[in-house]
Structure 1
Amino acid sequence: MSLDTRAAVTVDPKAAKQIRATKSTNSDKVVGGVSHVVLALWSLVVILPMLWTLLGSFKTTKEIFKSPFGLPANWNFDNYVNAWVKNNFGPMFLNTVIVVGSALILVMLLGAMCAYVLARFSVPGSRVIYYLMLAGLTFPVFLAIVPLFFVLQGMGLLNTLPGLIITYVAFALPFTVFFLFSFFKSLPYEIQEAAYVDGASEWRTFFQVMLPMAKPGLAAVAIMNFLGLWNQFLLPISLNTNQDNYVLSQGMAAFASSAGYQVDFGAMFAAVIITIVPVLLVYILFQRQLQGSVSQGTSK
């Protein structure tokens, strides 16, 4: 490249400095200030109750009523032991992991396969199937409780973990297909055709070529499905009345209501922390994938 050409493409330092130093308008400053204030208030609304619950999980019931905002006199894990052992939260935690883990694996596999076919192939009725999936997102869950009850009863799966897993999969499948559809639709067709030329079958092309390319979308929808299924309350409380198969959301409700006015609030707060810690850990560990994938999926 000649010196003249270099001079022509070189950015003027003064001009670049002026661009960087461009002042925001008054309206931008007002919007930014209001946004920061609202976010700060919202953060306090979310963080302070969680912090209060965490401190209460180390107190006795008497301490909680005597000094609700003070520090615990003794930092011990007696409340966590009581919640885990005496109030049966250990088996309920295991049931929740089994149900949510199995449902998440199934819904991600089935949802990815369905979204891939709808997005990449001209199947007769594919648009109808896609719009039916979208309609499933608008259908209130509580309207399906009675039909689901009789369907599971007829299948012999009422009040069982497999029945709850199937229900969770059906509940999360429309959102999974809707979210992954745009990711598979945006993948270049040249790569798919190159896999066919190399002799790859449809299954191998999907699992070894196309699925890894949609990994950002898979990570995002897996996290959101995990959050939704872990906190699900209406479905298990309606379709799973066997106490041996209770999940954590049911256990929390039963714990809070069974003791009446004699609730062990320290143990109850410990149970709340046990319930929400896995959700917080998953979100903290994978929040980068969630933020990047959502913006990528919704913009395509």
Structure 2
Amino acid sequence: MKRPPSLARGCVSAALFGYAAWLVFPMIWVAYSSFKNDAAIFRTPFALPEAGAWHTENYVHAWREAHFGDYVWNSVLVTIVSVGLILILGAMAAYALARFHHRAGRAVFWLFLSGLMLPAQLAVVPLFFELRALGLLNSRTGLILVYTANGLPFAIFILAGFFRALPKSLYESAVIDGCNEFSAFVRVLLPLAKPGLVTVAIFQFIGIWKEYFFAFMLNSGAAGEGVRTLPLGLANLSIAAQYRSDFGMLFAGLMLVTVPIIVIYLALQRHIVKGVTAGALKG
């Protein structure tokens, strides 16, 4: 005997609600714990801060004393420039590989795709020596170049599918109207690939904003202290404090890392669905 559809939907809804609560509660707990001092965190770890005992100075201490202001600036600069370069270079490369059919183009496309198959950590040793030889070690420029190169394979893979799905008649109409190859790309075809561009931007922003491995390996030591990004600064704060950790300030720093990702995702999440499905639709 089949169960009533309403019962099945209720079970699925309950399971999804429980899973969502399991994922969301730790973030909520960190959020309100960032307004508590150490004594309140250890005494009543799951309780909300008491009325009149909201320690907003945790954010002030994290911003000034722990130098999170510098970390935020470094992360914003590195992330925005890296994502911008990935979108510009990835869109141009994807358009060329999708527009022109040649054996060499197919080989280059598969060469880029191989970057998705190999862990980027395998390249950290040659990257370290190469950046040191170029004088880009412990610098924002070196980190931007590494993030850009690491993000291009994904961007080309996504955007090439969008450009292939666009009707060839659009390009022909642009040429008839007097556009050359570059003008047709910029004025006609690139705006139609907006869902793909937004999808790539969201994923690359999240990945670069919270990236730790390359930031640690390429900006280590005292020479890289001035160019540390937020994840590295947060890790250094917790390691340096040892058993004297100010957990309220640590949670405040964690919120400074997490909130921008949540805001960007919530603001642009509808574009992710469009970006995933638009490439499969025919024009």
TM range (shorter): over 0.9
Q: Does 1:72 align with 2:49?
A: yes
Q: Does 1:289 align with 2:271?
A: yes
Distance in 1 (alpha carbons) for counterparts of 2:212 and 2:247: 21
Q: Does 1:256 align with 2:241?
A: no
Q: Does 1:155 align with 2:134?
A: yes
Letter paired with 1:274: L
Equivalence for 1:125: 104
Equivalence for 1:225: 204
Counterparts of residues 271-286 of structure 1 (less than 5 Å): 271-286=253-268
Q: Does 1:85 align with 2:64?
A: yes
Is the deviation greater in 112-121 or in 30-39? 30-39
Equivalence for 2:251: 269
Equivalence for 2:83: 104
Q: Structure 1: which 5+ residue stretches go unaligned?
A: 1-24
Superposition deviation, residue 216 in structure 1: 1.1
1:56-95 residue CA offsets vs partner (Å, 9 max, x unmatched): 1000011100110112131241000000000000010000
Distance in 2 (alpha carbons) for counterparts of 1:34 and 1:181: 40
Distance in 2 (alpha carbons) for counterparts of 1:37 and 1:142: 40
Superposition deviation, residue 291 in structure 1: 1.8
So what's the TM-score if we normalise by structure 1?
Answer: 0.88
For residues 137 and 299 of structure 1, do their structure 2 counterparts lie closer, same or farther at Cα, with a shift above 3 Å needed? Answer: farther
Letter paired with 2:66: N
8 Å contact kept, 2:165–2:281: no
1:206-255 residue CA offsets vs partner (Å, 9 max, x unmatched): 11111001111111111111111111111111111211100001011101
Distance in 2 (alpha carbons) for counterparts of 1:186 and 1:143: 34
Distance in 1 (alpha carbons) for counterparts of 2:152 and 2:45: 43
SS at match of 2:242: coil
Equivalence for 2:213: 234
Distance in 2 (alpha carbons) for counterparts of 1:289 and 1:234: 29
Distance in 1 (alpha carbons) for counterparts of 2:11 and 2:107: 44
The percentage of counterpart residues that share the same residue type is 39
Q: Does 1:243 align with 2:222?
A: no
For residues 31 and 168 of structure 1, do their structure 2 counterparts lie closer, same or farther at Cα, with a shift above 3 Å needed? Answer: farther
Letter paired with 1:173: L
Equivalence for 2:94: 115
Distance in 2 (alpha carbons) for counterparts of 1:156 and 1:298: 44
Aligned partner (choices 41, 48, 51) of residue 28 of structure 2 = 51
Letter paired with 2:57: D
Superposition deviation, residue 274 in structure 1: 0.7
Equivalence for 2:39: 62
Superposition deviation, residue 296 in structure 1: 2.4
Letter paired with 2:45: P
Distance in 2 (alpha carbons) for counterparts of 1:189 and 1:214: 14
Letter paired with 1:52: W
SS at match of 2:130: helix
Equivalence for 1:174: 153
Superposition deviation, residue 201 in structure 1: 1.3
8 Å contact kept, 2:238–2:245: yes
For residues 235 and 56 of structure 1, do their structure 2 counterparts lie closer, same or farther at Cα, with a shift above 3 Å needed? Answer: same
What's the RMSD between the two structures over aligned residues?
1.7
Letter paired with 1:43: A
For residues 35 and 127 of structure 1, do their structure 2 counterparts lie closer, same or farther at Cα, with a shift above 3 Å needed? Answer: farther
For residues 70 and 250 of structure 1, do their structure 2 counterparts lie closer, same or farther at Cα, with a shift above 3 Å needed? Answer: same
SS at match of 1:259: helix
For residues 29 and 132 of structure 1, do their structure 2 counterparts lie closer, same or farther at Cα, with a shift above 3 Å needed? Answer: farther
Superposition deviation, residue 266 in structure 1: 0.2
So what's the TM-score if we normalise by structure 2?
Answer: 0.93
